[in-house]
Structure 1
Amino acid sequence: WTDPAGNVIPSNELEVSEPGTYTLEILNTNTGCSAVDEMVITNDGQTAPEVAIATPSPITCTNTFATLTSTVTPNGGTYQYLWSVVGGGGNIIGPTDQAVTQVNAAGIYQVSVTDTNNGCFDIVEVTVVTDTIAPVANASNPTPALVITCATPSVTMGGDGTSVGADYTYQWTTVANSGATLPTPNNIFLAEATSAGSYILTVRDVTNGCLSRDTAVITADTISPVIPNVMAEKITCDVTSVTLDASATTPNTGITILWTGTNGAPSPTDQLITTATVAGTYTLTVRNNTNGCETSKDVEVGINQDPPTISIATPPLFSCAFPSVVVNASATGPVANFSSITWSTQDGGTITPPSGALSITVSAPGTYELTVVRADNGCTATGSATVSPANDTPVADAGPDFNIDCGEMTVLDGSGSTAGNYQWTNISGGAAPNPATAQNPAIDAPGTYRLLVTNPANNCMDADTVVVTLVNTLGNANAGPDQDLCGDMTTLNANLPAGATGLWTSVSSAVIATPDQGTTDVTNLRNGSTTFVWTLSAPGCVNYSADTVIVVSSGKPEANNDVLNIGADTRSGSVNVTSNEVLTGITNFEATLLGTPSFGVIDSFANNTLYFSVGIGAEGSAELTYQICNLDCPGQCDTAIIVINVEDDGKEPELPNTITPNGDGMNEALVFDVLLSNPAEEFPNNELIVFNRWGDIVYQAKPYTNNWQGTNSDGEELPHGTYYYILRLNIGNREIIRGDVTIVK
């Protein structure tokens, strides 16, 4: 069918509602032939109603239903209405037989309007949509966590993905009793939280009234470090620095530390334990690097550096009637207050006791000095008291110390002494003053001289000393540099200034060729250190200067024979060949074995020790020569002998039965302990004969030296298997060993 509008409708029957010409075409699909006819439909003069539905508002979160309003033309007729849902999904909540109804779900709705006067009708459809999509509310991002700290007193809330734009409104509220404080302002998307707690973000879409909520939980980390009370010692004369220990601070990691002080900072300034060297107030500030919270605490460092106050009573006069005088400083304080009490004098007599007491007894006039140290702070003070002589006490003054040259004649000066009897003596070196009873006697040599002055009226005495020092114009002795040498002789080289004589001496067995010459040969040196002294003299100055030279000789070592005894119960032993050597002055040496013993096995020779073993049934003696050399002196060597004595164990030597000549270094050859453990001269004509299983001789050796490795007499390898041998040790004594051996490869 083709309708008046030109629409093709493939159907055998056609229901029409409009006038016009309708064309029918029938096609024979077998032949391809067709036939066409037309039908004209006319209107009987009745008019169908025309229906229109106003476009409804969408269903939203605030408008939960939509009103569908239909209008009919012509107006004023009598119409019958029927509302229905096209397809699925819609829902009519209003009347279905009225011009206006209500729906609460999206869908396609149609209304059929029939003119009750002529039965004509019209059907129209309308689509209702919903707009209930809620906005996105994200109060905070999952990372980083929102934490209020001392360094960050506020945090910004509002997470990624939240709906933004002019169509949305925002509202922040708090959860009751969570500790949260309402942000200001609270109607913006990104709001500032200043306290920990729970905050609710409400986002509303103003176009559809839909809203969403999300909660942000803000935490707080505002705990400040805890600094313990720090106690400090006082600065004293003994304690010049004190430790400030705040190591118990919590936390003690992840923190920044700063010490300051009223009189300068301690050192270091950035550690919990620091050192202060001056008194004052020190402030420790600790900052938690995680949250920026800080705590400060003061530490007082006191000072106690007051010195003691010395008070010494005026001592009485010293006289012959009172040969000792008490010097009393008890007013200085109790003895227990002081850690040290010491007395000294430069020109006085004996002090009793010289320490530990504040009251002392002295045996001569002079100035006495007291030094005390406070026990509580280590501070020191010094005071002095002078003990003066009475008028009848003589005063000896030997004059100031002075110098003289070799051979110079000079006089001692006692003119500063009081009148009386004089007696000079030389108490150290020098020569006898002449005359010894004169006030100013003559001397011609250096030394220490003593003047004793006696008051003949009461026999009171006083003494003084003077030191006379030699001025050396010739030059000091120089024995030359110390020597290290190989051998037992050397040459000494010393200086010999003009006008002086010299002499070489030594308390040793060394022979000095020309002792009075600066350069001389020396022989018969022993290993080790030898000291030589070169002494210079001049007219009037005997032995005025001396110097020493040390000669270290490292010559030939002295080797001594050693003995190694191996008993019947032990088949091995060791001996250190250097334990009895004479190695004086030799520290770098080496011992070496020369040759091998006539029997037995040298297991090793290490650290100058021989490790030696023999097999079962071995006995006898052997000798082994060794050499010991001084490595610092080429050619300086000596030799000695190790005597090895092996006791008979009363057993027969073990016989071998297998060899494995495969090149691994183990069990390669046929070894007989009887040959290994006995001297070679014990069996000089021994002979080994080896047979195969058919009795053919495959190997023969005379003498046999424990070296058969499974070959025939031509050196060719024999196949593995069992072979038979005869070892003729001493045919005359019927010493013959028979056995079998298996070659395994």
Structure 2
Amino acid sequence: MISKNTLRKAFFLIILCLLLTQNSYSQCFEIESILVDACDGDTNTEGLNEMVRFKVGPVAINTSNMSVDWPSNNWGGLIQNAGTASKVASLNAAIVAAGGCGQVLQPTGGVLPANATVVLVTSYNFDTAANSFGALTSNIYILFQNSNTITGHFGNFGTSATRTLKINFGSCSDTVTYNRSLLTDQSGQNVASDGATVVFTPAGVATYINNGCVAPVQTFTVDAGTVTGSICAGNSINLSGTAVGQQSVTWSATSGTFSSPNSLSTTFTPSSASAGTTITITLTATNSCGSQISDTVNITVTNAITPNFNITPLNICTGSSVPTLSTTSPNGITGTWSPSAISNTASGTYTFTPNSGQCATSVSLNVTVGNSIVPNFDVTPLNICSGSSVPTLSTTSPNGITGIWSPSAISNTNSGTYTFTPNAGQCATSVSLNVTIGNSTVPNFDVTPLNICTGSSVPTLSTTSPNGITGIWSPSAISNTNSGTYTFTPNAGQCATSVSLNVAVGNSIVPNFDVTPINICSGSSVPTLSTTSPNGITGIWSPSSISNTNSGTYTFTPNAGQCATSVSLNVTVGSISALISEECTNKALLLNVSPLSNSYNPNDVDYIWKNANGTEVGNSENFNATEYVSGISNPTFPMTFTVTVLGDCETTAEYTINGISCNIPKGISPNGDGKNDEFDLTGLNVNEITIFNRYGTKVFSHKNYTKEWRGQADNGNELPDGTYFYVIHRDGIEATTGWVQINRQRN
């Protein structure tokens, strides 16, 4: 007797086997689509161009045991040779030309990788020109049947009948079935048409499509849709495009805006400036390879009519009657107002919206409902002098309120209040003007005539008199060059009279000191400043005496009562110094002097060079020390020279040289024979030298160097013969690098 536990185990194994059988189907491969009605032009060679697409599961499969049960014809096996490679190359070239970045591949060793997309073509004589793979964005594998059968392997459109395709890979297979009566053309009609394709779900459910003469792979297409009629300027239109194989889309136009420029569905609003024109709208699709394709539609934009209502803003009194809002404008535009009727209790905006189909714009009317309007006369109280002219009282305010004044005219003899009463029906209030009549006041300025010297200081004209009258002077300030009359006019409303001041201006005497600018050298004697000019003007100088150390300006101010002007003398105190530097030019040591001065042109100087004995040896800014030393028998160093620079001022500088060598030796022979024993850089003003061996290791360094290196290391040990490298540092010159060789030449 079989136990219940044994039965449970047997049942579990049966269920597990069923599950594994089901998984082996879905995990091995799945047929995804069939190009049933292949494109063959007029050659009737459809059997060469039919295609099946399938998807490999998570484990690679080998085509060595592949077989196909076609609805028609026999399985011819697979072929892969130079001919199929040529077909693949042609397909890949067309993919690149279409903007794709994917490739069509043939399997290596018959192995289809895991998760690969595969297209099986019914013949190696496949027509690549008639069946585009388009802008392919990912790699797919292609298999060619070893067949040249031109009759179709599938049943094209016809009466209702099912056709079955089965593909085997030994241990697994997949079967799909379609109904030939459901095949469609590109518009979706059930008729015979090239490009008829069947797409299958993993469960084998068929969908019938037609993308034209393309391989059963994802296409790259874009369609901007259709637009009928025209659009009114300022209105919007909905656009709906389609795209396949895109990564992104973008709408663009010659003018106007899009609500969602990167979505297939969007709303387009043309600009008001585009009225009366045709706008081209473009939908551009970009695939994952970065390639772009576009499609366009044209939209005609018409001018919008403005309803010609009178929309001048209204001001009405609370509770008064209001106009009726007509639903038809004088130029015939019909529509509705919102709100539909004007309120006489609350202010608001009333908007007219044209009925649809009229290509007209909306207009608005602003209505202000308020209490009584105040006539905006200037009712600032008036102060008028007795007997003077008075303003006229207008019977219409600036804001359009009409009425009467009481009294009707202003008196220039009696003070009073004048009241304006608006005419009936204007929703306006009364206003009043106060007028005060008074006697004239004389501003009590001191207007005694003035006599002043030309160029001398003048009094300021105050705009307020001692008795408090404010106003303006004309001219506003007293001139110290021209005589004239200055009149004070009181500001309005003070009931005051004008007064005048006469000013006479005379010529000033110029003290005739010699004020030609003076240049003196620092520390030299200076002239004395006289307090009386040759033409008799007395006064004081500030500063009172000339300094021989600092430049400055000295101003003479005449004593009071002479009607004379000030004069100034500019004194420049200069100094000179000299900077001597050396340089090597054409293997000659030159001493160069640079004069530094703050009082003269540095180029307008003389130079005198002398040796240590005081003998003149040169007269230019450059002294050739090499040439000088070369003319001396047994010269000794150090050697000192002085240079005197003569300009507006004079200075002398001194310079000592330790040699005249301007060449850096390429080698030394420190063998004690007294010839070329040292690395002699005398006269080059070397701050520091560092010497390295050929391995880059520092072996010797010395500051303020002249000729201390004789082939020894820093520790005094003798260095081996060979090539060494140096770095020389000098003031104002970039570091010099090079090589020097030690060759002791011992016998």
TM bin, normalised by shorter chain, reads under 0.3
Structure label with greater radius of gyration: 1
Of structures 1 and 2, the one with the larger relative CO (CA 8 A, separation 6+) is: 2
Higher helix share: 2
